[in-house]
Amino acid sequence: MKMAEKKHLNSSLLERLATNGFRFTPQREHVYSVLLEKRDHPTAEEVFIRAKRRMPDISMATVYNCLDALVKCRLVRQVALERGAARFCPNMQEHSHFYCDSCEQVFDVNLPPEPVIGLPRGFKAERYDIAIHGRCPECKT
Amino acid sequence: MKMAEKKHLNSSLLERLATNGFRFTPQREHVYSVLLEKRDHPTAEEVFIRAKRRMPDISMATVYNCLDALVKCRLVRQVALERGAARFCPNMQEHSHFYCDSCEQVFDVNLPPEPVIGLPRGFKAERYDIAIHGRCPECKT
DNA sequence: GTCAATACTTGGAATAATTCTAATTTGCGC
DNA sequence: GCGCAAATTAGAATTATTCCAAGTATTGAC
Ligand SMILES: [Mn+2]
Ligand SMILES: [Mn+2]
Ligand SMILES: [Zn+2]
Ligand SMILES: [Zn+2]
């Protein structure tokens, strides 16, 4: 990434953190950059491993703290597909998730215009989470 | 419940367990009946508490085992909404879940005919899990 | 720039949810 | 009824996450 790009990213990260009452720290910057680098769906553990490579002293507690801040700033989505560790997704476009029951990989899938589900009277939907389970192309028998 | 009804339920439970290679045990019968009694979305812990009322010696490990067997027999659905304890749903009709972010209750919501999501080439969907987050009528401000 | 207030980071302890273990008991085909 | 695989049990172990208390860094006021 070019210097100018990085500076811009960081100033917008700072802004986003600030408007949500968070401080800008090297750890938060780094965790965010780690997520943007490889746009998959790592667990906190996996983020920790990747973050440590260039910031060996970062702690697991901080990774959780950073992920939490990023989620609260809406720079990252937290996804709960299967039971077990939560996963984090840096793709903030509206999309749903395909979970391959065989290789356990998670794929982004574009959503149709709007999933028209008739809710009973009085219910107010804020957000739809669509998880599709099945086999990815690699694992199709 | 009338005696005849119960007998019928149990013989169909036995059959379902048998065809999936499971044995019929009083614990499995009881856990299943506990789920059918109050058709909500309890956690394993909550099932344990309810099951203990009429079967005080049942253990947590057995509750997990029973729930697992019932899920594998497709008599019960396991739902993973938010992070935290898994929930169990005895309603086997196709439906999706509304999770109230305020009171944390889970409601069954009927699905539209079929959520037409165009999957990329090669992906094979087996099951859609639609979770809707929002406010229930009680909690609407 | 200095300073104080407060937020953040850290390692380790604590907790929550679930799974594993090993001894005992039970269901079920013969 | 008998034998054996499967199920139950209490408790230990594991996994994922949160909490804690002490030290450190960031920020805004001056
Ligand atoms: Mn995603
Ligand atoms: Mn349900
Ligand atoms: Zn796959
Ligand atoms: Zn509610």
- Average pLDDT of the residues in A54-61: 97
Q: Which residues pair with B97 in a beta bridge?
A: B108, B131
Burial of B35 (0-12, 13-18, 19+ CB in 10 A): buried
CB contact under 8 A, A126 and B96: no
pLDDT of residue B67: 98
Task: Provide the H-helix boundaries in chain B.
Answer: 3-19, 26-37, 44-54, 60-72
pLDDT at B9 over 80: no
Q: CB within 7 A of strand C: which residues qualify?
A: A 22-23, 25, 27-28, 57-62, 65-66, 69, 83; B 14, 17-18, 23-26, 43-45, 60-61, 64, 68, 84-86
Going by C-alpha positions, the residue among B33, B27, B36 that lies closest to residue B65 is B27
Q: What is the mean pLDDT of chain A?
A: 89
Q: Among residues A18, A23, A17, A49, which one has the least CA distance to residue A34? A: A49
Which of B78, B115, B140 is the closest to A115 by Cβ? Answer: B115
Contact A60, A41 (CB under 8 A): no
pLDDT value at residue B11:
79
Query: How much of chain B exceeds pLDDT 70, in percent?
Result: 91
Q: Which of A61-70, B44-53, B106-115, B125-134 is least confident?
A: B106-115
A to B CB pairs, distance under 8 Å = 117
CB B98 within 8 A of CB A84: no
Q: Which nucleotides of C are covered by protein (CB under 7 A)?
A: 7-12, 16-21, 26-29
pLDDT given at position A71: 97
Distance A45 CA to ligand 4 centre (A): 33
Burial B92-112 (b: 16+ CB within 10 A, else e): eeeebbbbbeeeeebbbbebe
Residue A68 φ/ψ, nearest 5 degrees: -60, -45
What amino acid occupies position A23? R
Q: Is the pLDDT of residue B137 over 70?
A: yes
Rg, C-alpha atoms of chain A: 17
Whether B132 and A140 lie within 8 Å, measured CB to CB: no
For residues B109 and A117, the answer to whether their CB atoms sit within 8 Å is: yes
Structure confidence by residue, pLDDT tens digits, B40-95: 999 999 999 999 999 999 999 999 999 999 999 999 999 988 888 999 999 999 89
pLDDT score for B1:
64
Nearest ligand for residue A122 CA: 4
Q: Name which residue leads in pLDDT, A122 or B50.
A: B50
- Tokens 């109230």 belong to residue: B100
- β-strand pairing of A87-89 with A77-79: antiparallel
Which chain B residues touch A101 with a CB distance below 8 Å?
Answer: 126
Percent of chain A with pLDDT over 70: 91
Q: Which pLDDT belongs to residue A77?
A: 96
pLDDT for the residue B102: 84
Helices (H), A1-137: 3-19, 26-37, 44-54, 60-72
- A83 pLDDT tier (thresholds 50, 70, 90): confident
Report the predicted TM-score, pTM, of the whole model to 2 decimal places.
0.88
Contact B137 A127 (CB under 8 A): no
Partner-chain residue, chosen from A83, A119, A134, that has the shortest CB–CB distance to B109: A119
Nearest bound ligand to the CA of residue A101: 3
Q: Which of A95, A117, A138 to mutate to test the interface with B (most CBs of B within 10 A)?
A: A117
Residues 6+ apart with CB under 8 A from B110: A118, B95, B96
What is the DSSP code (8-state) at residue B137? T
Give the model's pLDDT for residue B126: 87
The C1' atom of D11 and the CA atom of B115 lie apart, in whole Å, by 46
- Determine contact, residues A129/B131, Cβ cutoff 8 Å: yes
Measured between alpha carbons, how far is A117 from B131 in angstroms, rounded to an integer?
11
Distances (CA, A) of A36 to A5, A32, A76, A104, B102: 13, 6, 10, 21, 32
Is the per-residue pLDDT at B26 higher than 70? yes
The answer, yes or no, to whether residue A120 has pLDDT greater than 80, is yes
In this complex, the residue with its CA at the shortest distance from the C1' of nucleotide C12 is: A61
pLDDT at B18: 95
Lowest mean pLDDT across A34-48, B65-79, B122-136: B122-136
Does residue B31 reach within 7 angstroms of strand D, measured from its CB?
Answer: no
Q: Pick from B46, B37, B90: which is nearest to B64 by CA?
A: B46
Q: Which domains does chain B have, with CATH numbers?
A: 3-87 (1.10.10.10), 93-134 (no CATH)
